[in-house]
Amino acid sequence: MNLIINDQKVTAKPEQSLLDMIKGMGLMTGKLSTDPIAAKIAGDVFTLNYIPLREKDTPPVRESKRKAMAASGGIVRLLTYKDAAGRETYARTARFVLFLAIRQLWPEARAVMNFTLGSGLHVKVTGAEDFSAETLKARMTELVAEDIPLRRRRVSTEEAIRYYVENGQDDKARLLAYRPIPTFDVYEYDGFADYYYGEMAPSTGFLKVWDILPAEDGFVFVYPNPADPDRVATYKHMPNYYQVYREGKHWGELMHCETVADLNELTDTGKIRELIRVNEALHEKRYGQVADLICQQGARAVMLAGPSSSGKTTSANRLAVQLRVHGKHPILMSLDDYYKNRDEIPTQPDGTVDLEHINTIDTELFGAHLSALLRGEEVEIPVFNFKTGTREWVGHFLKLNEDSVIIVEGLHALNPQILPEGLAPNMIFKLFVSPLLPLNLDDHNRVPTGYLRLLRRIVRDFETRNSPVQKTMGMWDSVRRGEEKWIYPFRETADVIFNSATLYELAVLKKHIFPLLTAVQPEEDCYEEVRGIVKILNFVHEADVDDEIPPTSLVREFIGGNSFYKM
């Protein structure tokens, strides 16, 4: 069989793995920045242990393998840590070795994946009085040095459930009880079996760059620097963001919804309706608390930022309602209206325009207008016409009275370049909105926070713009890069970080999105990313409870029926 691996022609021999082939090609250098971790074939990600040509196969396996190779025309693209799928493969491998080491050192301990924060994964450890991050790091170093092969084995779902029950891992047993597929894949070593819903590196020796740091309740595993994978990333403790994650976990405990299995039980029993009511009440209470803080501070302008599909528009409107309770006169403004005319925006070296760059905003004009408004002057506010790509002046004049509070929503609202100099610190209140879903699949697998925003975006794009999944997915990497550069560096400067996730949301969104995702074909570029989402949603039971969701809910911004858009 003839293959093309990274544009090089290679002849695959029977029973020869991709790893054997790339070693023969001299592509393994021992550096994480350049060494392949996995491979992409026809839009799907494969382990480097994958064997393209076998001498003996049962027909279903042979047909499956041939189908992938045929769809790609024999073309294989190798993935490194610089690829998103390569980083995910590395992260799954790291988690297997981490939890293996913990099981070997502290067999009775419970280790729970809490959340990923920046370059670090926080893991909570209980039931190990002598737990030490230093001891864990030493054992993991040994496991990496042993270069243990990591091979996947397929078992029946019933067998997997029995194994996890016998080993005291009820979290996994409960989750698998909802699995609609009769088989389950596991990775095994030294009596430890686990799975992370995607491919892993061929062996533990691929974990070349990492660190383990002590942290409250457990430890932080630090990943390589994405920009320079041969170095460990610099882990920055973010106390405000960390506190919001902890608050989210507390909400999950309060509502008895900490895992997907919990959510399914609430859905199946009809108690999800109560979950919706409590979750919405918690949000409303939090908006009220934010309004209290704004009024106590005497702020006249609220700068509200957040990543794509975080619910900024609904948050601005719900906050406005709470400010009215205080007798304030809230005024909504959008930074989008301060976009420069498209022909005034500098182009990048490749001739394209980065529409998420700070230089797309007329920061000087916005700063002048904000200063004038806070001085009590009347200002004409522009309106940006997205069809023509130009800023228009349509006679929209604005002047504040003594009870006015401006709520400014926008991608760059927390960027220091937006605010004019000389303002009294108490005049500005900074609010960051982001959905930080505190829901786990099981102790060792979280529902990635980014998935929730992506699901929201896919549903909204399809419902309001008839935009297909493929188009939304095609833009997502660019959106995420923009967020990493222009939003997240300033989130810790916010006076309040608002968690806009709802625990019931996955069950509601599945009805809207699952048919769209399962229609994506293996040969499409976004297939692997879509399949990762489908693997999680396969465990989630649909909830037909749209009638329970209030018209002011954040979720309504994405599934429709949001009353703020009818004003």
Q: How does pLDDT run across 76-135, given as a tens digit for each residue?
A: 999 999 998 999 999 999 999 999 999 999 999 999 998 888 899 999 999 998 999 999
Q: Give the span between the Cα atoms of 365 and 383, in whole angstroms.
A: 13
Would you call 527 exposed, middle or buried from its count of C-beta atoms within 10 A (0-12, 13-18, 19+)? buried
User: Does 26 share its domain with 60?
Assistant: yes
* Residue labelled with tokens 């399809």: 462
Instruction: List Cβ<8 Å contacts ≥24 apart for 379-388.
Output: 381/333, 381/337, 382/337, 382/338, 383/337, 384/336, 384/337, 384/338, 384/339
pLDDT tens profile 414-435? 999 999 988 898 999 999 999 9
Q: Is residue 225 in some structural domain? A: yes
| Residue 8, pLDDT score | 92
Rounded CA separation 46/50 (Å): 7
Same structural domain, 287 and 217: no
Which range of residues forms the domain containing residue 198?
85-237
User: Which secondary-structure segment (H or E) carries 296?
Assistant: helix 272-297
β-strand partners of 152: 187
Residues 196 and 245 in one domain: no
Q: Which of 245, 200, 242 is nearest to 95 (CA)?
A: 200
Residue type for position 356: E
Please report where in the chains the tokens 């106590």 appear, as a residue: 296
Is 121 found in the same domain as 63?
no
Tokens 């489908």 belong to 534
Q: Tokens standing for 101?
A: 């080491």
Among candidate residues 191, 211, 237, the one where a domain is terminated? 237
Q: Is 296 exposed, middle or buried (0-12, 13-18, 19+ CB in 10 A)?
A: exposed
- What would the DSSP string read from start to end of 44-59? EEEETT--S--SS--H
- Residue 121: which CATH number? 3.30.980.10
67 located within any domain:
yes
Please tell me whether residues 444 and 409 are part of one structural domain. Answer: yes
- Read off the pLDDT of residues 248-279 as tens digits, 9 standing for 90 and up: 888 898 889 999 999 999 999 999 999 999 99
Cα gap 183→47, rounded to integer Å: 19
Does residue 59 lie within any of the structural domains? yes
Q: What are the mean pLDDT values of the chain's consecutive 10-residue runs (567 residues total)?
A: 90 91 93 95 90 66 55 89 94 97 95 89 94 97 97 94 92 94 93 91 97 94 95 91 88 91 96 96 96 97 95 95 97 94 83 81 95 95 92 94 95 93 92 93 90 92 87 88 89 95 95 91 85 92 96 94 76
Q: Which of 32, 60, 80 is the last residue of a domain?
A: 80
pLDDT at 58: 44
Within a domain: 352: no
Number of domains present in the structure of the chain: 3
Q: Are 12 and 25 members of one domain?
A: yes
Residue 98 lies in a domain: yes
User: Six-digit token pair at 402?
Assistant: 């003594």
Among candidates 311, 326, 419, which has minimal Cα distance to 374?
419
> 54, 80, 106 — which closes off a domain?
80
CA 288 to chain centre: 27
Residues 461 and 515 in one domain: yes
Same domain, 129 and 253: no
Same-domain pairing of 501 and 546: yes
Do 125 and 230 fall into the same domain?
A: yes
Residue 60: both structure tokens together: 């279903």
- Is 356 a member of any domain? no
d(CA 235, CA 211): 10
Q: Are residues 119 and 194 in the same domain?
A: yes
The full 3-state SS of 502-537, as one line of letters, equals CCCHHHHHHHHHHHHHHCCCCCCCCHHHHHHHHHHH
Residue 567's pLDDT is what?
47
> Reduced to 3 states, what is the DSSP secondary structure of residue 466?
coil
**30 located within any domain:** yes
Nearest-CA neighbor of 491 among 188, 260, 242, 164?
Answer: 242
Q: What is the pLDDT of residue 298?
A: 96
In a domain, 93, yes or no: yes
So what's the pLDDT on residue 364? Answer: 95
Tell me, yes or no, whether 534 and 428 share the same domain. yes
H or E element that contains 137: helix 133-145
Query: How far is residue 4's CA from residue 27's CA, in Å, rounded to a whole number?
Result: 14
Query: How large is the C-alpha radius of gyration of the chain?
Result: 25
Q: To which residue do tokens 């829901």 refer?
A: 439
